[in-house]
Structure 1
Amino acid sequence: MYSIFTRKPEAAVFPAVRRHGLGALTFGPLNGGWLSGRADPHTAHRATRRPAAYDSSTPTGQAKASAAGKLAALAGEAGMTLPQLATAFVLAHPAVTAVLIGPRTQDQLDGLLAGAGTRLPDDLLDRIDEIVPPGTDLDPADNYAATPPSIEHARLRRR
C-alpha cells in the first residue's frame, strides 16, 4: 500500500527497488477512501471492515481528517481533485511503475486516469511533504502487510 497517508515504502522498499533496477506495483492511492474527496470517509466501502480506521474521534482519525482537508485545498489550488492529486502523487515516485486503482464507477475511473496523466511539480510535492512527511504512515495499521510474518514472529526467523 502506498499513498500520501502511507509513505513507509519510501523509507526502505523503494530505495531497494531503485538500487536493483526494479519497479514497484502499488495499491491503495486513496487510502481506503480518506483521499477520495468525499466529505465523509466513513462512507467508504472499507469502513465496514475496519470501522476503527474511520473513527474521526481518535488521534489517527483526527490527523487523517486534518491532512485530507489541507490536501483537498492544495489540490484545488492546483486545479485538480483530491483523488487526482493522490493518484498523481503515487505515480510521481520514481520507484513506482504502476498503481492499482479501485474505481467503482466510470466517473471515478475517468477522474483517477486524469490524475495518472498529471505530472506534479516539485514545489507541489514539497507542500505535500509538509502535510505528511516522507517515509511516514499516518496510521501504521494501514500498512498491515508491511511487516512480514518471518520478521514479526521469532520462531519463523529460524526456519
Structure 2
Amino acid sequence: MDYTYLGRTGLRVSRLCLGTMNFGPETTEPDSYAIMDKALDLGINFFDTANVYGWKRGEGVTEQIIGRWLAQGGGRREKIVIATKVYGEMGDWPNESKLSAYHIKRACDESLRRLQTDHIDLYQMHHVDRNTPWDEIWQAMEQLVQAGKVLYVGSSNFAGWHITQANYEAKARHFLGLVSEQSLYNLADRMIELEVAPACESLGLGIIPWSPLKGGILGGVLKKIEEGRRSSERSQKEIERLRPQIEAYEAFCDEMEEQPADVALAWLLHQPAVTAPIIGPRTMEQLTGSLRALDIKFSEDQLKRLDEIWPGPGGTAPEAYAW
C-alpha cells in the first residue's frame, strides 16, 4: 500500500480510503467486519464514515458497526485513521442537525459513543451551514481538540469560497483549520477543478473524492449490462445521456488492458491535490479489486485522451471561462 500525507499535516494515510456507507444497509455486519479486517491486511489505514450512515435517523447504524468491530481489539483502533462527519439530521428537534456549537458538541459525543473510541482523528463538516458564524463553529471545534476528542477538522461539499473563508477565520484564531475537503470528483464530474481544487492546493487541504466511479458509470457499466446486470431507472437515464462517452471510455480501457474502475481510480490518484479516493465496497471482491489502481501509470497521450473523452471545465477559474 502507498501512503501520503493528509493535506499539510504530518498524518500519513493510505492512498485508498475505505468508505463504509454500505455497512448496514447493503453489507451485513459480519461481512462488514471481514471487509475491514481485509482492508487492514492490505495496509488501508484510512476509514471514512458519517453519523447519518445506515439511514435510520438518529441511530448511526454504520458507526455502531465500526464501533463493535473496533471493540474486538487486536490493535484495530491504533492502526486506523478514522474520519466521521457532523451536520445531518439526527432527530426531530431544532438543534439536532447542522453546525451550531450545541449540535457539534453533542454529535461528537454521540459518535464517540457509537464508535467506542475516545477520539475522532478527522471530524468533517458534512455540508456548509450558512446560518452559523465561523467564530461559533471554530470555538466548538477548538474545544473538542483541546479536550482530545478530535485531532483534525475537515470539510465536505464546500465551495472554494467556503474553504478560503473557513481557513481565514481559523488562522485569525491561531487554529489549524481545515486540513481536508471531501468532494464529488471523478472523470465525469470535474467541476471542483474550477475553484475547489485550486483552493485546496493553495491552502494545503487534501482532497478526498467521493463517488470516484460515478455510481458505477465508470466501472464498466456497459459490459455489466451485456452480462445481464440491472441498474436503477436513474442510472439507466444517466447511461443513455453519457453513452457515447462511456463507449469511448470503455474502449480506451480495453486498449490499456485495464478494468474501467481501476482506470478511473488511477486517474484520480494522478491529480495533484488528491489524497485518497473513497472506495465503498459492498463485497470483498470489490475491495481487493481496487488495489490495481495503485499500479496504473498513464502516458501524456493517455491522459490527453481521457481529457478528450471526459473534458473538464477547461482549467481553473477564472481563466476557464474568462480571459
In the superposition, the TM-score normalised over structure 2's length comes to: 0.37
Q: Relative to 1, partners in 2 of residues 1:121 and 1:110: Cα closer, same or farther, differing over 3 Å?
A: farther
Residues 217 and 239 of structure 2 are in contact (CA less than 8 Å); yes or no, is this contact kept in structure 1? no
Q: Aligned to 2:245, what secondary structure does the other structure show?
A: helix
Name 1:43's counterpart in structure 2. Answer: 230
- The answer to whether the aligner puts 1:132 opposite 2:310 as a matched pair is yes
Gaps of 5+ in 1: 137-159
Following superposition, the deviation at residue 62 of structure 1 comes to: 3.1
**Cα separation, 1, equivalents of 2:192 and 2:230:** 27
Structure that is richer in strand per residue: 2
Who is 1:14 aligned against? 197
Q: Look up the match of 1:141.
A: none
> Structure 2 vs 1, CA of residues 105 and 53 (structure 1 numbering), >3 Å: closer, same or farther?
closer
Q: How far apart are residue 21 of structure 1 and its match?
A: 2.0
Q: 1:3-152 residue pairs with structure 2 within 5 A? A: 3-39=186-222, 40=225, 43-44=230-231, 47=232, 51-55=233-237, 61-135=239-313
Give the letter for the 2:204 counterpart.
G
Query: Structure 1 CA distance, aligned partners of 2:236 and 2:268?
Result: 22
SS in 1 for 2:208: strand
Note if contact 1:72-1:82 (Cα within 8 Å) is conserved in structure 2.
yes
Q: Figure out how many residues of one structure are paired with residues of the other and give that number.
A: 127
- Match for 2:253: what amino acid? A
Once the two structures are TM-superposed, the CA of residue 53 in structure 1 deviates from its matched residue by: 4.5
Q: One-letter code of the match for 1:29?
A: P
Structure with the greater alpha carbon radius of gyration: 2
Q: Distance in 1 between matches of 2:305 and 2:274?
A: 20
Native 8 Å contact 1:5 1:64 kept in 2: no
- Counterpart-to-counterpart distance in 1, 2:251 and 2:197: 28
Q: Residue type matched to 2:287 in 1?
A: L
How far did 1:111 drift? 2.2
Bigger Cα displacement from structure 2, 66-75 vs 112-121: 112-121
Q: Give 2:234's aligned amino acid.
A: A
Shift of 1:85: 0.6
Report the AA paired with residue 89 of structure 1: W
Contact 1:87 1:115 in 2 (8 A): yes
Contact 2:220 2:260 (C-alpha < 8 Å) held by counterparts:
yes
Provide the TM-score with structure 1 as the length reference.
0.71
The 8 Å contact of residues 194 and 313 in structure 2, kept in 1 or not, is answered as yes
- SS in structure 2 of the partner of residue 98 of structure 1: coil
Give the C-alpha shift of residue 133 in structure 1: 0.9
Displaced runs of 4 or more, over 4 A: none
- Identify which of structures 1 and 2 has the higher relative contact order when contacts are C-alpha pairs closer than 8 Å and 6+ apart: 1
Post-superposition Cα deviations, 1:47-69, rounded to whole Å, max 9, x if no partner, equal 3xxx33531xxxx5434222111
